[in-house]
């Protein structure tokens, strides 16, 4: 029996703590059954071995979210701590010694200045400002009734010039360490993406730092342990900064959305054996050059590397920088950088090429066999000056040729290498990333698959879940979900790694529960929630993309139900999965502002609104009906049930905007009630009973309005879409006696559609649960196993290795949609696989109470998997054999589980190892 997985702020042995009350968690591992923690004690010591906090013996079972309550923590200090646990079996457990280090608590801790090169020429007018002006003209014209002035964002941007693609800037200096270094820490951030080296070695194996934030509101710095890199005597340090999110061409944008000049802020603190501190900062002592080999580096277009320009490593002491120029500096201004505690993005898997082949149109293409997000590493042996272009794409077209819808645009995903003098060279881009399975190679010759490796990149969130069953196509679906999740959590949660790389909030609303099964997302999501709060508008709107994609000028001041809901759904999920109550309190004010904004949106009648979206429903209304309109969504724009497969454009592909305009009234009204329910629940959890009661009543009033206005006496909705029925049932929008009627009608619609779903973002997560809940499990299983389009397994049948954005991304006639083929939203079915097929369900907080309840009538012979909860690893396997099922597994210590048997009865399991055999038509056999 022992203690493991000890974390501080959800990270093991963090060196970047910048809060005064960090939270601790641990797990108890026991071979015995029914082991529970009775009490705990934590002792924290400073570097002088003086106790700064002794919790005393706390007689509680709590092992998560334990907040430090000791003396005030000091900046850049090391603290050691030990945990003692007493169990119900009479044993005392002691952890080994753990530590955490603090970063900077005060602005004054920063001695560094921002350093920059002299600016390179940019456009005289910033394209983003011009785009915003154009959209303002359009909206003013539309408000005066001139709808002919309407332009798409693409049209606006197409008429504007592009900022130049600039080379990365290199900055360096030499310094002397006066005495042997005992501890060295580097604190660094940048305007752009940086890479730091000391004495020829990189300070980290992480990528794309400092990550994506709204740089004018929030800037994160990273902390690195460089004990082994700093040497006694002379040293050299260099930092290379490329455009990144700060200056690059993001999504539709044409560049320089946060600034025109790359820069770095860097502070190296070294402590010798006598405790004396020496500090090296970014200041006037640095020099810079734009003449390095990275000639351009853009997150969307790609990286160009000219090896002929490589003249040595600037972080080596002997490097010749005589032609370099002195940097310019300026003092730190807002925002003050904050330490990044959450994990960094890294290469998590190297994927060797499966083949190199020539396509029917004569092009050389590399196939890695797996769609992913990242870069390539390639061995090149060509003559000096040879230019080789590597274009990245996700698919081949119907004829077997390379396909990428944005080829030839600012999102072309093309890396270029110009060969230098070496006989064999290695090209590995560091300042970009792409979404791809295939790479088209232009230039060079005699390519072999052994020359190519794909480097899959993702934020290093711990993998916590796995699922397998007797159906190999469902297993492939689970793999597709996993790879899409890894591909779309790169510094922030994104929609896709190709077209946008954007933090669409609605995708996390849809997919959050599945994400939390697959990986420990606590620190990552808490970090993103801080960005959501900072980007929230004064009127309470939570934006569709966070950080806001500012070149989406049409969405700059809007908030949509189903997307902004993330400020409610995500904190509540983090609390339920991890027992993280602080996340509720931290986001509560933002939640309330969001709810008030949506109340105002509902209260507005169409005749009072700007003529944009909604429906004219109050004409000829009686007094009650008119009052009902003020509790329904009938104005403004909301995304509704985004991307319904039956709603198509003139080319026959799914039409997202049309889906939104069609369904946003019904869907938005259901989500309004759901939001009010969630906020009422959260209010009660944080002790605000006034809001709890207010919003419970408000949710019920929305339901009354919905039923009176949208539901007929025979239980049919005025707009008969699968998603409308699903969400009305999921959020109990009708009286209990009508729910069976709606469920019956939903089942009819699904059956009539050939057991194929016809749902978009908001309804898809719930379709299988709702069908099972209301007695149509057989229909649910047929939907899950459906192989015709649209369905999950249609994608598998088509060879997909990730989840598609659109159900019809590859049509049955072989035509490809202009969408993403790596988009986790519809992978939300993973949550159902864990809960209902495998059967691991959370009935407490942080899985302290667990229900094992597989759907025994599911069409699988067996299922197995694990979920590593905050309390420990839950292992489960069940297998059917004729009319019997065997269920076995392990429940972590300090939790308790209950097993639901095929006949509906329940058996208490406690914790530890268990094995139960039961009849599929009766109770326990043995």
Compute the average pLDDT of residues 637-650: 96
| Residues 282/173, Cβ–Cβ less than 8 Å | no
Compute the average pLDDT of residues 639-656: 95
Give yes or no for residue 227 having a pLDDT over 90.
Answer: yes
Rounded CA separation 860/863 (Å): 7
Confidence of residue 14 (pLDDT cuts 50, 70, 90): very high
Which contiguous run of DSSP H or E holds residue 109?
Answer: none
What does the pLDDT look like over 797-816, one tens digit per residue? 999 999 999 999 999 999 99
User: What would the DSSP string read from start to end of 705-741?
Assistant: HHHHHHB-TTS-BSS--HHHHHHHHHTT-S-TTTHHH
| Residues 729/739, Cβ–Cβ less than 8 Å | yes
Q: What is the 3-state secondary structure (H, E, C) of 301-369?
A: CEEEEEHHHCCCCCCCCCCCCCCCEECEEECCCCCCCEECCCCCEEEEEEEECCEEEECCCCCEEEEEE
What does the pLDDT look like over 322-346, one tens digit per residue? 999 999 999 988 899 999 999 999 9
Rounded CA separation 705/700 (Å): 9
pLDDT at 618: 53
Q: Which of 269, 216, 209 is nearest to 241 (CA)?
A: 209
**Sign of the CA dihedral with 329 first, then 333, 334, and 336 last:** positive
Quick one: tokens of 7? Answer: 């974390």
Confidence of residue 242 (pLDDT cuts 50, 70, 90): very high
pLDDT at 617: 53
pLDDT at 52: 98
Compute the average pLDDT of residues 744-768: 98
**Sign of the CA dihedral with 671 first, then 673, 675, and 678 last:** negative
Compute the average pLDDT of residues 57-76: 97
Quick one: tokens of 257? Answer: 């959305």
What does the pLDDT look like over 822-880, one tens digit per residue? 999 999 999 999 999 999 999 999 999 999 999 999 999 999 999 999 999 999 999 99
Give yes or no for residue 926 having a pLDDT over 80.
Answer: no
Give yes or no for residue 47 having a pLDDT over 70.
Answer: yes
504-526 burial, b at 16+ Cβ within 10 Å, e below that, comes to bbbbbbbbbbbbbbbbbbbbbbb
Q: Which of 149-163, 709-723, 746-760 has the lowest mean pLDDT?
A: 149-163
54 Cβ neighbours under 8 A, 6+ residues apart: 41, 42, 43, 44, 70
Quick one: tokens of 309? Answer: 């320009």
Compute the average pLDDT of residues 383-398: 97
pLDDT at 922: 57
What does the pLDDT look like over 275-322, one tens digit per residue? 999 999 999 999 999 999 999 999 999 999 999 999 999 999 999 999
Rounded CA separation 605/631 (Å): 10
Give yes or no for residue 611 having a pLDDT over 50.
Answer: no
Burial of 847 (0-12, 13-18, 19+ CB in 10 A): buried
Q: Which of 517, 531, 506, 512 is nearest to 571 (CA)?
A: 512
Give yes or no for residue 369 having a pLDDT over 80.
Answer: yes
User: What would the DSSP string read from start to end of 188-253?
Assistant: EEEESEEEEEETTEES-SEESTT----TTT--EEEEEE-TTT--SEEEEEEEEEE-HHHHS--TT-
Angle subtended at Cα 229 by Cα 491 and Cα 267, rounded to the nearest 5 degrees: 60
What does the pLDDT look like over 562-580, one tens digit per residue? 999 999 999 999 999 999 8
Q: What residues form DSSP beta bridges with 17?
A: 102
What does the pLDDT look like over 422-444, one tens digit per residue? 889 999 999 999 999 999 999 99
Average pLDDT, the chain: 95
Compute the average pLDDT of residues 369-398: 97
* Global pTM value: 0.97
pLDDT at 612: 44
pLDDT at 913: 97
Rounded CA separation 263/258 (Å): 12
What does the pLDDT look like over 485-540, one tens digit per residue? 999 999 999 999 999 999 999 999 999 999 999 999 999 999 999 999 999 999 99
Q: Which of 369-383, 553-567, 767-781 has the lowest mean pLDDT?
A: 553-567
Q: Which of 330-334, 609-613, 634-638, 819-823 has the lowest mean pLDDT?
A: 609-613
**What does the longest C-alpha to C-alpha distance in the chain come to?**
86
């Amino acid at each position: 029996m022992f203690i493991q997985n000890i974390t501080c702020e959800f990270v093991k042995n963090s060196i970047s703590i910048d809060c005064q009350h960090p939270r601790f968690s641990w797990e108890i591992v026991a071979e015995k059954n029914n082991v529970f923690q009775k009490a705990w004690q934590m002792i924290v010591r400073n570097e002088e071995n003086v106790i700064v906090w002794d919790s005393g013996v706390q007689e509680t079972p709590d092992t998560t979210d334990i907040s430090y309550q000791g003396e005030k923590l000091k900046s850049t200090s090391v603290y050691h701590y030990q945990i003692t646990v007493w169990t119900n079996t009479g044993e005392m457990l002691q952890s080994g010694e753990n530590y955490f280090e603090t970063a900077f608590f005060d602005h004054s801790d920063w001695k560094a200045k921002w350093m920059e090169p002299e600016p390179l020429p940019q456009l005289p007018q910033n394209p983003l400002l011009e785009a915003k002006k154009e959209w303002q003209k359009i909206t003013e014209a539309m408000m005066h009734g001139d709808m002919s002035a309407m332009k798409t964002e693409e049209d606006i941007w197409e008429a504007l010039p592009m900022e130049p693609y600039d080379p990365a800037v290199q900055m360096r200096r030499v310094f002397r360490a006066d005495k042997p270094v005992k501890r060295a820490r580097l604190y660094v951030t940048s305007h752009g993406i940086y890479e730091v080296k000391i004495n020829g070695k990189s300070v980290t194996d992480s990528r794309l730092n400092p990550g994506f934030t709204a740089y004018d509101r929030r800037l994160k710095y990273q902390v690195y342990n460089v004990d082994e890199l700093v040497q006694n005597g002379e040293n050299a340090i260099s930092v290379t900064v490329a455009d990144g999110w700060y200056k690059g061409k993001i999504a539709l944008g044409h560049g320089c959305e946060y600034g025109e000049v790359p820069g770095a802020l860097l502070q190296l603190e070294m402590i010798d054996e006598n405790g004396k501190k020496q500090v090296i900062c970014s200041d006037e002592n640095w020099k810079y050059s734009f003449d390095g080999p990275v000639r351009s580096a853009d997150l969307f277009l790609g990286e160009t590397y000219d090896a002929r320009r490589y003249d040595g490593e600037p972080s080596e002491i002997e490097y010749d920088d005589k032609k370099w120029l002195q940097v310019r500096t300026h003092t730190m201004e807002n925002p003050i950088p904050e330490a990044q505690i959450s994990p960094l993005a890294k290469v998590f898997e190297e994927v060797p090429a499966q083949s190199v082949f020539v396509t029917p149109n004569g092009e050389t293409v590399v196939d890695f066999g797996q769609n992913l997000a990242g870069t390539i590493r390639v061995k090149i042996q060509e003559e000096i000056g040879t230019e080789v272009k590597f274009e990245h794409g996700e698919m081949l077209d119907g004829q077997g040729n390379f396909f990428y819808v944005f080829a030839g645009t600012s999102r072309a995903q093309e890396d270029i290498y110009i060969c230098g003098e070496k006989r064999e060279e290695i090209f590995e881009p560091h300042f970009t990333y792409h979404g791809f399975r295939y790479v088209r190679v232009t230039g060079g010759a005699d390519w072999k698959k052994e020359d190519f490796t794909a480097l899959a990149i993702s934020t290093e969130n711990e993998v916590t879940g796995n699922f397998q069953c007797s159906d190999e196509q469902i297993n492939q679906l689970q793999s597709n979900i996993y790879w899409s999740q890894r591909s779309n959590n790169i510094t922030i949660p994104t929609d896709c790694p190709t077209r946008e790389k954007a933090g669409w909030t609605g995708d996390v609303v849809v997919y959050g529960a599945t994400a939390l099964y697959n990986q420990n997302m606590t620190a990552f999501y808490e970090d993103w929630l801080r960005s959501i709060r900072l980007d929230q508008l004064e009127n309470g709107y939570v934006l569709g993309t966070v950080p806001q994609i500012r070149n989406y000028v049409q969405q700059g001041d809007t908030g949509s139900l189903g997307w902004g809901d993330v400020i409610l759904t995500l904190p509540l999920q983090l609390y339920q999965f991890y027992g993280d109550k602080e996340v509720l309190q931290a986001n509560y004010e933002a939640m309330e502002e969001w709810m008030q904004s949506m109340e105002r949106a509902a209260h507005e009648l169409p005749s009072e609104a700007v003529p944009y979206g909604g429906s004219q429903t109050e004409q000829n209304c009686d007094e009650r009906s008119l009052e009902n309109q003020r509790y329904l969504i009938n104005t403004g724009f909301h995304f509704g049930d985004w991307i319904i497969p039956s709603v198509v454009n003139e080319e026959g592909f799914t039409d997202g905007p049309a889906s939104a305009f069609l369904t946003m009234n019904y869907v938005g009204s259901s989500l309004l009630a759901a939001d009010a329910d969630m906020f009422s629940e959260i209010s009660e959890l944080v002790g605000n009973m006034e809001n709890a009661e207010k919003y419970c009543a408000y949710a019920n009033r929305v339901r009354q309005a919905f039923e009176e206005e949208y539901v007929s006496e025979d239980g049919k909705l005025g707009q008969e879409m699968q998603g409308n029925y699903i969400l009305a049932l999921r959020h109990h929008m009708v009286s209990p006696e009508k729910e069976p009627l709606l469920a019956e009608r939903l089942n009819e619609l699904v059956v009539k559609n050939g057991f194929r779903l016809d749902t978009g973002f908001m309804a898809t997560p719930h379709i299988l649960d709702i069908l099972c809940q209301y007695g149509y499990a057989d229909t649910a299983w047929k939907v899950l196993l459906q192989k015709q389009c649209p369905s999950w397994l249609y994608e598998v049948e088509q060879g997909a290795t990730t989840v598609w954005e659109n159900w019809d991304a590859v049509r049955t006639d072989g035509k490809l949609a202009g969408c993403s083929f790596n988009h986790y939203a519809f992978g939300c079915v993973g949550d159902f696989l864990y809960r209902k097929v495998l059967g691991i369900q959370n009935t407490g907080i942080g899985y302290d109470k667990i229900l094992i309840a597989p759907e025994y009538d599911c069409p699988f012979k067996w299922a197995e998997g694990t979920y590593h909860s905050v309390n420990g690893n839950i292992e489960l396997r069940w297998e059917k054999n004729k009319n019997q099922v065997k269920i076995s597994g392990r429940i972590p210590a300090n939790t308790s589980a209950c097993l639901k048997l095929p006949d509906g009865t329940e058996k208490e399991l406690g914790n530890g190892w268990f094995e139960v055999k039961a009849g599929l038509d009766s109770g326990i056999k043995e």
